Each structure stands twice: as C-alpha cells, then as structure tokens.
Amino acid sequence: MQQTNPILDPFGRPITYLRVSVTDRCDFRCVYCMAEEMTFLPKADLLTLEELEVICRRFMEVGTRKIRLTGGEPLVRRNIMHLIGNLGDEVGRGNLEEITITTNGSQLAKMADDLYRAGVRRINVSIDTLDTDKFREITRWGDLGKVLDGLEAAKSAGLKVKINAVAIKGFNDEELAEMVAWCGREGHDMTVIEIMPMGDIGNENRLSQYMPVSLVRSNLSRRFTLTDLDYSSGGPARYVRVEETGRKLGFITPLTHNFCESCNRVRITCTGMLYMCLGQDDSADLRAALRDTGQDGLDAAIVEAIGRKPKGHDFIIDRRNSGPAVERHMSVTGG
C-alpha cells in the first residue's frame, strides 16, 4: 500500500487516528459507564470481523496511521486475535504506525503473549482503584487480582502499559496519589480521566461522581513535582512528567478544557456507525454503505463523513444538566 497524505477535515485537521469499538459487550459493569442491566445489541447487527477489517483498511487508504481497538471489552469478542493479527501485519509492512488496545485487563493473563506476537506493543489498562473491595464496587463484577495478574503477564510479554483511571469524587480522589506512586514503581505511565456525561447509567448520579481533573492535578502537586510536557497524542490528554518517578502522567479534561483544536481522530462502533466527534450525535452509517454499495460506496461515505467533522463538542455537567449530553454509552464508541 502506498503512503497517502491524510484526509483533512473542514478545519484542516489531518485525520490519522481511528478508534474501533469491536463490541458493546463487557464482562464488567463500571458504575460510571454502564447500568447494571444493559441491553446489548443483537449479534446480527454487529459488523463481522471481516467487515471491520475492510473498514480499517479503507481508512488506512485515506491516511489513518494508528488504530486503537476498544469496546465494551475488546478482548471478549470472539476471534478478535484474528483481526488484531491482520492489523499487526500491516504495522510490520509499514502501512500502519501502530495498533493499540484499551482493555479492562480481565483477559490479559491469557492473551498478553498473543497480543505481543500479533504486533501490539502498547496497551491501555483501565484501573480506578487498587483496593480489591472498591474495585469490585466500581466495576460491579470485576476481580482486581485477575487484572493485576494480567498486568504481570503484559510486562513479561514486553507490552508497554498505560493505566487509565477515571477520577470519581469521594471514591478514589484520595487514592490517586498512591496510584501515581504505584505506576512509578511498576514502570507504567498513567492517565487520569474526567467523567463524561455519556449514556444512561441507571440510578447513579453523574453530578455526584464528577471530579474536575484540575482539582486532581492540584492535589497531586502537593505530593509530586509535575513538569508540563510538550508531548501530545493529538487527543484530549495533556501530559506532565512526575519528577519523583520519571513517568508520564496525562490528564484528560474534556469538560473543563477544550482540546478539540488538535483533534486527529474519528470513532467507529461495532455496528459500523462512524462518529466524527465523541461529544456529538452526528454519525455516518458505514455498515449500510459497505453492505449496500460495496467498497466504492464505503470510500465515498468515509470522505463525506469526515467532510462534516464538527469543530468541537459541548459537554456540560452542572446542576441543571446531570443527564447524558449524548445518549450513547461510552462503551458504544469506546472513549
């Protein structure tokens, strides 16, 4: 495949990064992400792994250089290693810079070696607390011990790990400094994420969960020396170096900071809906384009959709707006 200049959106931003949610299902039920009783999509609505791969390849043709698989929990989708392996081969051929995964870590103990063999070198693992009981409380169904075993396996396999922690008021705000120190000891980078108002989460109240990451940062700076870094992933994270540990720490602040001007990404769901912005409802149906009109129709649909990528989002969580700003759950687009 020839290296192509990336497609530009209407604001001149090169779109080089594709996030693919390969399933809406998950073996956890994190309280800020899902209601306990979730109705998942019928299997027939899902793109097959082959269709997902065709779509990824068409994006590569228009300049996508990085692909991140997410979900739901990407590693619970049956035969997912097949897709990962095929995309990993494209990294080997120089057609992609990297293939990465965001996972809750529940399957890592058995899959870490396969991921490395398939060409994955970096993964994000989501852990909000290192306390076993609290981990069970926040994930409803998760087992911290298994996830920690998974991290060990990832390390032995040679995978670089970044820990994602969502800041939750009154739950882990006091513990985040300890997690930063733990990441330092384990050799992991870390990112702290602000809660985003996505999807109905049953009886849980987002306003009571919301903790501005600016506050997290000022709390952490009482214990650590945080030096701003120029580094940007083209996403919503701003990075510092924790001088005491030497590790990178990112802050994702979609609600208190506007990160949209450097946005380089679009997101596709497991049913083939392309979302041009995490915080907006506009989407394009790539499954219909692919199934009804084949590859040419798909190419046209991708170009047309990127042509209407919006300038930015307008998430708000305040006392009048504690409901979802967008109807879909984070597990649909995978963050």
Distance CA 136, CA 199 (A): 21
Distance CA 200, CA 321 (A): 13
Q: C-alpha angle with apex 65: 247 to 192, nearest 5 degrees?
A: 30
**Is 100 an interacting residue with respect to ligand SF4 (CB under 6 A)?**
no
Q: Which residues contact 114 (CB under 8 A, 6 or more apart)?
A: 81
Phi/psi zone of residue 330: left (φ > 0), alpha (ψ -120 to 50 degrees), beta? alpha
| Amino acid code (one letter) for 234 | G
Q: Are 188 and 163 in contact (CB under 8 A)?
A: yes
Closest CA to 282 of 41, 70, 10, 53: 10
Comparison of 74 and 279: residue with beta carbon closer to ligand SF4: 74
Candidates 48-56, 68-76, 144-152, 270-278: pick the segment binding ligand SAM (CB under 6 A).
68-76
**Is 326 an interacting residue with respect to ligand SAM (CB under 6 A)?**
no
Task: Tell me the closest approach of the beta carbon of residue 285 to ligand SF4, in angstroms.
Answer: 23
3-state secondary structure of 21: strand
Considering only residues 6, 71, 184, 254, which one is a binding residue for ligand SF4 as defined by CB under 6 A? 71
Q: 161 — phi, psi (to 5°)?
A: -115, 135
Considering only residues 13, 29, 77, 313, which one is a binding residue for ligand SF4 as defined by CB under 6 A? 29
Candidates 70-78, 169-177, 278-286, 297-305: pick the segment binding ligand SAM (CB under 6 A).
70-78
- Binding-site partner at residue 88 among ligand SF4, ligand SAM, none, CB < 5 to 8 Å by type: none
Distance CA 111, CA 89 (A): 18
Give the N- to C-terminal CA distance of the chain in Å, as an integer: 29
**Is 103 an interacting residue with respect to ligand SAM (CB under 6 A)?**
yes
**Is 33 an interacting residue with respect to ligand SF4 (CB under 6 A)?**
yes
Closest CA to 267 of 15, 6, 9, 19: 19
| Amino acid code (one letter) for 195 | I
Comparison of 253 and 331: residue with beta carbon closer to ligand SF4: 331
Considering only residues 17, 28, 210, 275, which one is a binding residue for ligand SF4 as defined by CB under 6 A? 28
Task: Tell me the closest approach of the beta carbon of residue 38 to ligand SAM, in angstroms.
Answer: 12
* Alpha-carbon distances of 66 from 17, 91, 103, 226, 330, rounded to whole Å: 5, 9, 17, 28, 20
**Is 102 an interacting residue with respect to ligand SAM (CB under 6 A)?**
yes
Considering only residues 144, 193, 216, 240, which one is a binding residue for ligand SAM as defined by CB under 6 A? 193
Residues 124-183 that bind ligand SAM (CB under 6 A): 126, 164, 166
Q: For ligand SF4, what does the binding mask look like between residues 105 and 144, x meaning CB under 6 A?
A: ---------------------x------------x-----
- Binding-site partner at residue 29 among ligand SF4, ligand SAM, none, CB < 5 to 8 Å by type: ligand SF4
Q: C-alpha angle with apex 127: 125 to 132, nearest 5 degrees?
A: 135
Comparison of 29 and 217: residue with beta carbon closer to ligand SF4: 29
Comparison of 191 and 301: residue with beta carbon closer to ligand SAM: 191
**Is 26 an interacting residue with respect to ligand SF4 (CB under 6 A)?**
yes
**Is 334 an interacting residue with respect to ligand SAM (CB under 6 A)?**
yes
Q: 299 — phi, psi (to 5°)?
A: -55, -45
Distance CA 245, CA 164 (A): 17
Closest CA to 334 of 69, 136, 46: 69
Considering only residues 23, 104, 245, 269, which one is a binding residue for ligand SAM as defined by CB under 6 A? 104
Candidates 46-54, 173-181, 190-198, 225-233: pick the segment binding ligand SAM (CB under 6 A).
190-198
| Amino acid code (one letter) for 333 | T
Binding residues for ligand SF4, per CB under 6 A?
26, 28-30, 33-34, 71-73, 104, 126, 139, 331
